Amino acid sequence: MNDLAVGDVAVVEPAGGRSLRGRLRVPGDKSISHRALLVAAWASGTSRLAGLNRGADVSHTLDAVVALGARVRPRGTELLVEGTHGHLREPEAVIEVGNSGTGIRLLAGLVATIDGLCVLQGDGSVARRPMDRVAAPLRLMGARIDGRRGGCYPPLVVRGGGLTGIDYTLPVASAQVKSAILFAGLGAEGRTRVHEVVPVRAHTEEMLAEAGAGIEVRPEGAGSSVTLQPGPLHAISLRVPADPSQAAFWAVAACIVPGSDLVLEDVYVGQARSGFIDVLKRMGARLEVVGRDPERLTADLRVQAGPLVGTSVGGAEVPGLIDEVPVLAVAAALADGTTRFSGAAELRLKESDRLATTVEMLRALGAKAEAQPDGLVVEGSAGAPLDQGIVGSHGDHRIAMAAAVGALAAKGPVHVQGWSSTATSYPSFEEDLRRCLK
Ligand code: S3P
């Protein structure tokens, strides 16, 4: 980056002779941070949360739990959250989730426990994201949910209370849907059971267990079933691990910037979050998982620069790397050979249509890429530098940061438009880049 940035544009310079070195702890995991706030808001007692993600998405969830009756105050580096003993209050105003699809979907489940009315709304991107996937099971539990376009799109109007547990098989491989149902299940009559056919991230179950919920996870086919008994939760004390989705940007950057040797510290490597590690290893990356902590489900990742080869990414591994596809596509653009991503139609429903915006980003950098209905085909340059150019992020933080990673391996500066989108999940990305690029 340099100081030429005008307006909402970052100018990212190629690494040149510099490389990524040292140790880096990326921000706290965003998925875990949302859930920690929701669990703490429901719990009895005061939860201590350290290392929460400081992006705008999680800030909105923090404001939401305050609006729902939790009391929040900082103490040193921690946030203390005094819970509501399972009695969230009806909010006095509309709850704003900003850009956060996870925020609105998880909150929809939690506020369905309130005997009252709650309106959830987000920005223009959230307004285009389908909510029927959470509204349908929550309606089966007894919530009344309305929204734009036949109740399918935000703003969502949730009239909750009087819920009954359900037995539900996820029609889409979505941790947000599983989590919304489980949060609603906390306040339902009778048990709630969710069947996941393909494993998706398990943070909600992990944290509910930590908070003393009556929760049981059983293997079932290739996936599992999660059974939750309603009831109180006790306060939690949590140090949020580093976010693997953010670590992935640096892992790819270290692979493609010659001479790099970077250690990413304390990264969450639990269920369905570390697929990018397997993909990069298949691509020949010099990536080692060291210092595993089996209790916190974390590890350090050491990544050194080296040549990459194309691979195929698809099937059951996709939910475990869904947010990492844009930056893996940058790795693919520099690899030797073709990389194919399939089974990833869900990417069309993220902060942007990420199959379209990833292809647009790669082409702006001179790479050859095609979007498919459910994936991408990327022709690698076998290490030849990408082009300088102008990339539109479409307000999508992951496209902006993936473009910045690609810029490090470009012939000249890359202008990333809509750079402020990075504040949704990683406000210190630019600072971390300056610090590690030596
Ligand atoms: C998330 C789940 C994923 C992911 C999103 C965060 C979560 O979405 O893409 O960024 O925290 O549960 P889906 O559940 O829609 O797959």
Provide the domain count of the chain.
Answer: 2
Q: Quick one: 340 and 194 in the same domain? A: no
Q: Quick one: 51 and 87 in the same domain? A: yes
End-to-end CA distance of the chain: 13
Q: Quick one: 211 and 294 in the same domain? A: no
Q: Quick one: 204 and 246 in the same domain? A: no
Q: Quick one: 19 and 97 in the same domain? A: no
Q: Quick one: 196 and 262 in the same domain? A: no
Domain membership of residue 176 (yes or no) is yes
CATH number, domain containing residue 126: 3.65.10.10
> Which atom of ligand 1 approaches the CA of 245 most closely?
10
Of 169, 195, 230, which closes a domain?
230
Query: 73 lies in which domain range?
Result: 30-230
Centre of ligand 1 from the C-alpha of residue 83, in Å:
25
Domain membership of residue 4 (yes or no) is no
Per the CB < 8 A criterion, the answer to whether 356 and 328 are in contact is: no
> Which atom of ligand 1 approaches the CA of 319 most closely?
16
Is 63 in the active site?
Answer: no
Q: Which of 52, 176, 177, 327 to mutate to test the pocket of ligand 1 (most atoms within 8 A of CB)?
A: 176
Pick the catalytic residue from 323, 353, 396, 432: 323
Q: Quick one: 303 and 220 in the same domain? A: no
Domain membership of residue 255 (yes or no) is yes
Of 200, 230, 260, which closes a domain?
230
Q: Is the CB of 432 under 6 A from ligand 1?
A: no
Say how far apart CA 247 and CA 249 lie, in whole Å. 5
Domain membership of residue 252 (yes or no) is yes
Q: Is the CB of 176 under 6 A from ligand 1?
A: yes
Q: Quick one: 206 and 328 in the same domain? A: no
Q: Quick one: 348 and 387 in the same domain? A: yes
Q: Quick one: 109 and 190 in the same domain? A: yes
Q: Which of 31, 104, 348, 425 to mutate to test the pocket of ligand 1 (most atoms within 8 A of CB)?
A: 31
pLDDT in tens, the chain (438 residues): 544 455 799 999 999 999 999 999 999 999 999 999 999 999 999 999 999 999 999 999 999 999 999 999 999 999 999 999 999 999 999 999 999 999 999 999 999 999 999 999 999 999 999 999 999 999 999 999 999 999 999 999 999 999 999 999 999 999 999 999 999 999 999 999 999 999 999 999 999 999 999 999 999 999 999 999 998 999 999 999 999 999 999 999 999 999 999 999 999 999 999 999 999 999 999 999 999 999 999 999 999 999 999 999 999 999 999 999 999 999 999 999 999 999 999 999 999 999 999 999 999 999 999 999 999 999 999 999 999 999 999 999 999 999 999 999 999 999 999 999 999 999 999 999 999 999
Centre of ligand 1 from the C-alpha of residue 32, in Å:
11
Q: Quick one: 188 and 257 in the same domain? A: no
Look at ligand 1, atom 4, and give the residue with the nearest C-alpha.
Answer: 323
Say how far apart CA 58 and CA 99 lie, in whole Å. 10
- On whether the pTM is more than 0.95, the answer is yes
Three-state secondary structure string covering the chain: CCCCCCCCEEEECCCCCCCEEEEECCCECHHHHHHHHHHHHHCECEEEEECCCCCHHHHHHHHHHHHCCCEEEEECCEEEEECCCCCCCCCCCCEECCCCHHHHHHHHHHHCCCCCEEEEECCHHHHCCCCHHHHHHHHHCCCEEEEHHHHCEEEEEEECCCCECCEEECCCCCHHHHHHHHHHHCCCECCEEEEECCCCCCHHHHHHHHCCCEEEEEEECCEEEEEEECCCCECCEEECCECHHHHHHHHHHHHHCCCCEEEEEEEECCCCCCHHHHHHHHCCCEEEEEEEECCCCEEEEEEECCCCECCEECHHHHHHCHHHHHHHHHHHHHCECEEEECCCHHHHHCCCCHHHHHHHHHHHCCCEEEEECCEEEEECCCCCCECCEEEECCCCHHHHHHHHHHHHCECCCEEEECHHHHHHCCCCHHHHHHHHEC
Domain membership of residue 3 (yes or no) is no
Say how far apart CA 233 and CA 189 lie, in whole Å. 16
Other CB atoms within a 10 A radius of the CB of residue 335 amount to 26
Of 230, 250, 277, which closes a domain?
230
Q: Quick one: 251 and 312 in the same domain? A: yes
